[in-house]
């Protein structure tokens, strides 16, 4: 078994029985579900909106070769610069070139899963460049030296007491500080970073092809500050973030807000179309957009699974998933956790190393049900499993096991050849550790129903 799979099983077992973790997650997700239910109830025809969003994203994926150059041309018309990066190494190298050219020593970042994907903070630290997260949740996990726990809510696994303790240790705030006091302290610390940072780095929720713009949606205003004060703004986005027209935001922004946090609309929605223009009072002097592939064309090449690229990163599937709610986000050891992460990570980072994530699902279908762009997530997980087997990535023991099972199941006489006692022995001997560690194994009857039927023990009518 691969190291990632072993680590996942071990960490999952620990988290599933961590009662304090469960208490915090259940509390935080309970608040989320209440807010989202209220938010979704205000949409007139939710299913029609989701179908429309699905079709738009389908058209985007079928026409990426046309829409990406269209975005690039329109963005460059207003003085912006577009950089194409095949992988994380190319993306970080290009960012370093920009920073060194500007003699930059400090970076202020807004929340971006794409920068997490390319491990940007660690890369900048290796080159003696300070990088500070400005989103409060991201700032908290950065102080802890952790990765984000959740696509939308990075510090979902922490209680307010945990955060108060962290701030007390780091900044000498009162150990019983309220959330309001903690937020004020974070604001005080970050304000100076905005005004003194050499470069601001953001992600992009959407890339708008017909205007050559990026759309950034947030609740704290930190992305606006990160792009207003620094003289250079770098936006990093996956190539799948495209939408054809600015008019499509009318559909996607409410869908993202309601499924992400339950809001009708996120507090700050900003559209940026290049560096500061003549007559404008704020904004960067230089603006770059880095279009990141990093495995996305690998997924695009799979016609049946490319739906995974429709994702708008709302996090709804994570909050609906019974596996995620029990094992948590850090166990996945990937940037994108939960059901959608289990779909796309094997294609981004390697099927052999991460195929196990596609098995970390009950296949209940709740993830597909809540998805705002109608991705058949549970079907994609099954297709990933099929691909892993087709590529011969399963173990010899698994192959032999399934071969024996298939041979037995295809013929009734073979199924009845072994009595219930021997079947129970096999269950207790070979499956006690994997299936029976925390549950009672089933007891197989001494004789099968088929055998009893043949022996004349037919039930009375």
Q: What is the DSSP string of 56-122?
A: HHHHHHHTHHHHHHHHHHHHHHTT-EEEEESSHHHHHHHHHHHHHHTT--EEEE---HHHHHTTHHH
Backbone angles phi, psi at 419, to 5 degrees: -75, 170
Topology (CATH level 3) of domain 43-294 = Rossmann fold (3.40.50)
Global confidence as pTM: 0.91
Give the DSSP letter of residue 241.
G
- Predicted local distance difference test score (pLDDT) of residue 428: 85
- Predicted local distance difference test score (pLDDT) of residue 170: 95
Q: Using CA atoms, how far apart are residues 433 and 422, in angstroms rounded to an integer?
A: 18
H/E stretch holding 270 reads strand 268-272
Give the DSSP letter of residue 217.
E
Tokens 């079907």, residue located: 379
- Predicted local distance difference test score (pLDDT) of residue 297: 96
CB burial of residue 247 (10 Å; 0-12, 13-18, 19+): exposed
Full pLDDT tens readout for the chain, 461 residues: 578 999 999 999 999 999 999 999 999 999 999 999 999 999 989 999 999 999 999 999 999 999 999 999 999 999 999 999 999 999 999 999 999 999 999 999 999 999 999 999 999 999 999 999 999 999 999 999 999 999 999 999 999 999 999 999 999 999 999 999 999 999 999 999 999 999 999 999 999 999 999 999 999 999 999 999 999 999 999 999 999 999 999 999 999 999 999 999 999 999 999 999 998 888 899 999 999 999 999 999 999 899 999 999 999 999 999 999 999 999 999 999 999 999 999 999 999 999 999 999 999 999 999 999 999 999 999 999 999 999 988 888 888 888 888 888 888 888 877 777 788 888 888 888 877 788 888 888 888 888 888 887 555 55
Other CB atoms closer than 10 Å to residue 245's CB: what's the count? 12
Q: What is the DSSP string of 174-209?
A: -TT--HHHHHHHHHHHHHHHHHH-SEEEE--SEEET
- Predicted local distance difference test score (pLDDT) of residue 458: 57
- Predicted local distance difference test score (pLDDT) of residue 427: 84
- Predicted local distance difference test score (pLDDT) of residue 89: 97
30 Cβ contact partners less than 8 Å away, ≥ 6 residues apart: none
Other CB atoms closer than 10 Å to residue 291's CB: what's the count? 23
Q: Where are the beta strands (DSSP E) in 125-192?
A: 130-133
- For the chain, domain boundaries: 43-294, 396-454
């Amino acid at each position: 078994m691969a190291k990632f799979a072993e680590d996942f099983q071990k960490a999952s077992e620990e988290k599933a029985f961590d009662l304090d973790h469960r208490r915090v997650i259940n509390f935080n997700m309970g608040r989320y579900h209440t807010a989202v239910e209220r938010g979704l109830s205000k949409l007139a025809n939710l299913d029609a909106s989701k179908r429309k969003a699905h079709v738009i994203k389908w058209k985007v994926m079928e026409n990426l070769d046309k829409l990406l150059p269209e975005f690039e041309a329109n963005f460059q018309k207003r003085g912006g610069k577009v950089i194409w990066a095949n992988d994380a190494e190319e993306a970080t190298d290009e960012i370093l070139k920009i920073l060194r050219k500007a003699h930059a020593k400090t970076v202020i970042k807004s929340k971006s899963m794409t920068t997490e994907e390319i491990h940007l903070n660690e890369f900048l630290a290796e080159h003696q460049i300070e990088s500070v997260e400005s989103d409060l949740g991201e700032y908290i996990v950065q102080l802890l030296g952790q990765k984000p726990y959740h696509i939308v809510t990075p510090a979902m696994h922490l209680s307010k007491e945990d955060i108060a303790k962290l701030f007390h240790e780091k900044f000498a705030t009162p150990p019983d500080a309220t959330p309001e006091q903690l937020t004020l302290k974070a604001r005080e610390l970050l304000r100076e970073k905005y005004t003194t940072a050499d470069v601001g780095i953001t992600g992009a929720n959407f890339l708008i092809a017909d205007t050559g713009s990026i759309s950034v949606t947030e609740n704290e205003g930190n992305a606006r500050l990160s792009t207003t004060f620094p003289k250079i703004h770098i936006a990093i986005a996956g190539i799948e973030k495209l939408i054809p027209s600015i008019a499509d935001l009318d559909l996607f922004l409410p869908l993202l807000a309601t499924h992400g946090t339950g809001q009708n609309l996120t507090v700050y929605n900003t559209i940026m179309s290049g560096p500061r223009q003549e007559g404008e009072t704020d904004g960067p002097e230089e603006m770059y957009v880095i279009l990141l592939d990093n495995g996305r064309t690998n997924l695009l090449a799979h016609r049946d699974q490319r739906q995974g690229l429709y994702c708008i990163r709302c996090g709804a599937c994570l909050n609906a998933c019974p596996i995620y709610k029990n094992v948590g986000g850090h166990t996945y050891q990937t940037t994108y956790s939960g059901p959608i992460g289990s779909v796309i990570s094997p294609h981004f980072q390697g099927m052999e190393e991460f195929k196990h994530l596609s098995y970390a699902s009950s296949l209940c279908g709740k993830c597909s049900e809540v998805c705002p762009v109608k991705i058949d997530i549970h079907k994609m997980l099954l297709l990933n499993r099929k691909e892993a087997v087709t590529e011969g990535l399963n173990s010899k023991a698994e192959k032999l096991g399934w071969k024996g099972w298939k041979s037995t199941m295809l013929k009734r006489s073979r199924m009845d050849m072994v009595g219930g006692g021997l079947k129970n022995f096999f269950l207790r001997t070979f499956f006690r550790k994997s299936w029976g560690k925390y549950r009672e194994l089933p007891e197989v009857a001494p004789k099968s129903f088929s055998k009893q039927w043949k022996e004349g023990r037919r039930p009375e009518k």
